[in-house]
Amino acid sequence: MKKTIIVALLILFIISSFFLTSCKRGEDDPFFSLYSRKMRVTGDWKLIDFERNTDITNLTDYETVTNFKIEGEKGLVTITTNIPNLDSTRIEQGTLNSDFTEIIFEKDGSYRNVLKYTIETNFTSEYDDSIVHVNTKRVVRVDKEGIWDFLDGVGEDYRDKERIVIDERQREIFILIITVTTVTDELDLNIHDPIKTDKQYNYYEMPHTEIWTLSRLANDEMVGNRSLNAEYDIFPREDGTYTLFHDISINGYGDESNGLTVEVKGTEKFIYKQ
């Protein structure tokens, strides 16, 4: 009887060890989870941290290096743009709308990803006896929809279900730019009434695919990254909107008259929590 119990416990231990090992896919996955990977992915996820580093070059070898960073818990967005050809660096900071910063994975394999933020900048210059103040507010909303699924393993490089394929079927980018220009004299008195202008951009993108590598997938946390390597075209439409044929989105507006072809390389890393 005692020998039978020992054998049963040994078999149970072997089965449990196999089960525990099979649960762990990503490098930092929890050692044990009662939920399948699909169950862990399914649900509403809030963006906690995001960072994208890109090197963007157009056909004239005009290069732009951009760092786009989101600190979700602080509600901050920072965009650092460096143009080596012009020896120019610009840093913009803004606020994140926490109500519109999430990704929802459904059990049926569909998903929706929404991001909304506002960047506000101020610029002052002097001309003769007047001072020009320019306040610019840029409101950006990115709305994506599509389907998702796990990918199989690839040799020793990737384990089974370590990666997720994001197959976008629709993406819309809305950008509203509001500029207020005020001209004052040396006593800071208005020379004339402030001038307010606004311009709206709508981008409709062709379907494309992203592959996320998940280093950690827990019940309440998802950590991952992806590589960017694409060439795409921006073409204006008659209604004033733009169609983008590419595999990622950038913080730019393109050429309103002739279109623009751009090569993008870089990396993204992110943390979502439920």
In the chain, how many domains are there? 1
pTM: 0.74
Q: Exposure of 64 by Cβ count < 10 A (0-12 exposed, 13-18 middle, 19+ buried)?
A: buried
pLDDT at 13: 40
pLDDT at 123: 82
Long-range contact list for 102-106, CB < 8 A, 24+ apart?
102/44, 102/45, 102/46, 102/47, 103/44, 103/45, 103/47, 103/272, 104/43, 104/44, 104/45, 105/41, 105/42, 105/43, 105/45, 105/148, 106/42
Residue 100 to residue 115: CA distance in whole angstroms? 5
Query: Best-predicted range by mean pLDDT among 15-24, 53-62, 251-260?
Result: 53-62
**66, 251 Cβ separation under 8 angstroms:** yes
Please, what is the average pLDDT of the chain?
78
Q: Is residue 29 part of a domain?
A: no
pLDDT at 49: 93
Residue ranges making up the domain that contains 188: 34-273
Q: N- to C-terminal Cα distance for the chain?
A: 48
Residue 195 to residue 176: CA distance in whole angstroms? 17
Please state the rounded mean pLDDT for residues 26-40.
69
Q: Is residue 155 part of a domain?
A: yes
User: What's the pLDDT tens digit per position in 121-155?
Assistant: 888 888 777 888 888 888 888 888 999 999 998 87
Residue 247 to residue 229: CA distance in whole angstroms? 8
pLDDT at 10: 46
More confident residue, 30 or 109: 109
Q: Is residue 92 part of a domain?
A: yes
Residue 6 to residue 265: CA distance in whole angstroms? 57
Of the pLDDT bands very low, low, confident and very high (cuts 50, 70, 90), residue 7 is very low
User: What's the pLDDT tens digit per position in 94-109?
Assistant: 998 866 678 999 999 9
pLDDT at 189: 67
User: What's the pLDDT tens digit per position in 227-256?
Assistant: 988 776 666 556 555 555 443 333 333 444
- Choose the weakest-confidence range: 45-59, 125-139, 208-222: 125-139
Q: Is residue 6 part of a domain?
A: no
pLDDT greater than 80 at residue 25: no
Pairing of strands 130-150, 110-127: antiparallel
More confident residue, 246 or 168: 168
- Choose the weakest-confidence range: 83-97, 170-184, 201-215: 201-215
**Nearest C-alpha neighbor of 25 from the set 191, 217, 238:** 217
- Where does residue 266 fall: left (phi above 0), alpha (psi -120 to 50 degrees), or beta otherwise? left
Q: Is residue 206 part of a domain?
A: yes
Q: Is residue 161 part of a domain?
A: yes
Of the pLDDT bands very low, low, confident and very high (cuts 50, 70, 90), residue 273 is very high
Residue 160 to residue 25: CA distance in whole angstroms? 7
**222, 269 Cβ separation under 8 angstroms:** no
Task: Show the tokens assigned to 133.
Answer: 């103040």
Q: Is residue 11 part of a domain?
A: no
Q: Is residue 28 part of a domain?
A: no
pLDDT greater than 60 at residue 5: no
